[in-house]
Structure 1
């Protein structure tokens, strides 16, 4: 009798343990969620570098994968296919993504304007550009539109300026480093690399400061924007709240630890050398600001882009649905 009871208890305990193990495995499978985060090479990727390097467990049950897109075209393609859950993109791309997919919202900005007017010539302000040859990137794209908007607001005739356009910053820097171009609009961290190659380059003015002068913004214009899939945000509010706090703290750390920032960024896959990144951090304007604190700046920025060329924001001004309200 005792043997029968003992055997019965053993069977019950064994079955219970087996069921418990199976439930644990099933719960683990259900709870684990992959999160894809992407950013383009340059400052946007640098802003994510600490998170990518340390990959902290922000919320239990989530596995985050970080990656760098080498070109703006590849970034645009992956976003329009709605592949990343979270991405850092140029601010106008955030508007295009919202208008085209209806499935991305803005969490905030990770970087204000980092473009600077630089020259080896005797230039003191934007008005001195009339009659000069000036290098810039991406004709008709955001950097170009930002420059033209500022010049227009300052009543400077752009027809009197000979713009020399190249496709990328990697093409502009060699021209200015060798003196083939003496004046141009250059962004960090490329600017720091340029100044290391050509000691005669001097900074005339930052576009972010110029934007403050021609608008009501106290912070400047949002250059890089953190976006998130609307459906993902709706289903994972706890994760979103924690991620926002984590990236804010991460960017603050990068500003305070520029040497480590360069090392982290290089390990993440940023093409710029660590020493250049280290020296560029001070002028990079990396800063996380929640969208609820930046909504007016975005509305004004998009309005100016739309007035210049509607295609730059996807053909129409995005409505308020583009702004994430959950945090």
Structure 2
């Protein structure tokens, strides 16, 4: 009887000690304070327009937004490797490539769903098959415009060696077309609008988004550009990440609804004339979608790129941990 009582008392002491220890641990696990500043980097392009307003008038509690405008993807990825940016706007395939290289990042959202077009000054050009034997100017080799162009040529029965692809920077191609030096080109918005406004013969021939849906299914979207977040930042500041995502989503929606109001900041910071930006928005598909909700479309897109050019996505499809949970 006495032995049983001693055992029961010993168990009670252990349970009490464990309970106190757990309570102490919970008390010490205070959430990290909101960061004073979020560093975001983004290119000169449509998905950056909403960030300009956030940088000037942050609606985040106790947190400001510092926006870095980068000129090349190489510049942006260098900062990602060094951990010098909390969020980075990148082509979705580049984000997958970084993840597959074991960089500690996740895809936070997708914002741009098709801004590429085949444009020409040739009034007789109508189909992809009409490009056989022609000189087609495309952005940098291995870029998403290049791979998607080759993908759509293939889907429309045009062999790779039947079209001469010439690779230059997209702004250079646009200027050459304005000057009458290029007849056939693949360009993104707002460069498409810039060309059309300055060369009356130039016109849109094919919309990559529509042709992608023809090839992959009418319910499939074309997730070209998104935003990654550093894993350490997301883990330390989950509420800030959520607040930032919400603020970006709201500002993006406002930019789409009223591009005229967004135009002054775009002209000031992105070296883009307001009329060009405003008109380009009619051909720019911007929509904020959480990465987890975009997973199916991203998988379809990356699978197509993987089949055509494995290097474009880092040699394999990213697993589910690539996608930031809501």
TM-score, length basis structure 2: 0.85
Q: Which residue of 1 aligns with 2:58?
A: 55
Q: Which residue of 2 aligns with 1:164?
A: 166
Query: Matched residues in 1 for 2:34 and 2:221: separation?
Result: 41
How far apart are 1:79 and its partner, in Å?
Answer: 1.5
Q: In the alignment, is the contact (CA less than 8 A) between 1:112 and 1:219 conserved in 2?
A: no
Q: Which residue of 1 aligns with 2:245?
A: 244
SS across alignment from 1:180: coil
Query: Matched residues in 1 for 2:47 and 2:34: separation?
Result: 30
Q: Which residue of 1 aligns with 2:106?
A: 105
How far apart are 1:47 and its partner, in Å?
Answer: 3.9
Cα deviation, 1:13-66, whole Å, max 9, x if unaligned, reads: xxxxxxxxxxxxxx9x9654321111012223224222223222x2x3323212
Query: Matched residues in 1 for 2:55 and 2:120: separation?
Result: 36
Q: Which residue of 1 aligns with 2:291?
A: 291
SS across alignment from 1:250: helix
Q: In the alignment, is the contact (CA less than 8 A) between 2:117 and 2:187 conserved in 1?
A: yes
Query: Matched residues in 2 for 1:165 and 1:154: separation?
Result: 21
Number of residue pairs matched? 295
SS across alignment from 1:247: helix
How far apart are 1:185 and its partner, in Å?
Answer: 0.8
Q: In the alignment, is the contact (CA less than 8 A) between 1:47 and 1:110 conserved in 2?
A: no
Q: Which residue of 1 aligns with 2:311?
A: 311
Cα deviation, 1:217-238, whole Å, max 9, x if unaligned, reads: 6353111111111221122222
How far apart are 1:91 and its partner, in Å?
Answer: 1.0
Q: Which residue of 1 aligns with 2:12?
A: none
Q: Which residue of 2 aligns with 1:174?
A: 175
Q: Which moved more, 1:46-55 or 1:275-284?
A: 46-55
Structure 1 32/149 Cα, relative in aligned 2: closer, same or farther at 3 Å? closer
Question: Does residue 1:83 correspond to 2:74, yes or no?
Answer: no
Structure 1 segment 108-187 matched on structure 2, within 5 A:
108-121=109-122, 122-166=124-168, 168-187=169-188
SS across alignment from 1:149: helix
Cα deviation, 1:169-210, whole Å, max 9, x if unaligned, reads: 111012211221111111100111111110111111211111
Unaligned runs of 5+ in 2: 1-29
Structure 1 segment 243-282 matched on structure 2, within 5 A:
243-267=244-268, 269-282=269-282
Q: Which residue of 1 aligns with 2:3?
A: none
Structure 1 segment 203-242 matched on structure 2, within 5 A:
203-216=204-217, 218-242=219-243
Q: Which moved more, 1:81-90 or 1:308-317?
A: 308-317
Query: Matched residues in 1 for 2:134 and 2:243: separation?
Result: 49
Q: Which residue of 2 aligns with 1:193?
A: 194
Q: In the alignment, is the contact (CA less than 8 A) between 1:88 and 1:226 conserved in 2?
A: yes
TM-score, length basis structure 1: 0.85
Cα deviation, 1:225-259, whole Å, max 9, x if unaligned, reads: 11111221122222222222211111111112112
Query: Matched residues in 1 for 2:289 and 2:321: separation?
Result: 18
Query: Matched residues in 2 for 1:218 and 1:250: separation?
Result: 26
SS across alignment from 2:277: helix
How far apart are 1:82 and its partner, in Å?
Answer: 2.1
SS across alignment from 2:224: strand
Structure 1 63/193 Cα, relative in aligned 2: closer, same or farther at 3 Å? same
Unaligned runs of 5+ in 1: 1-26
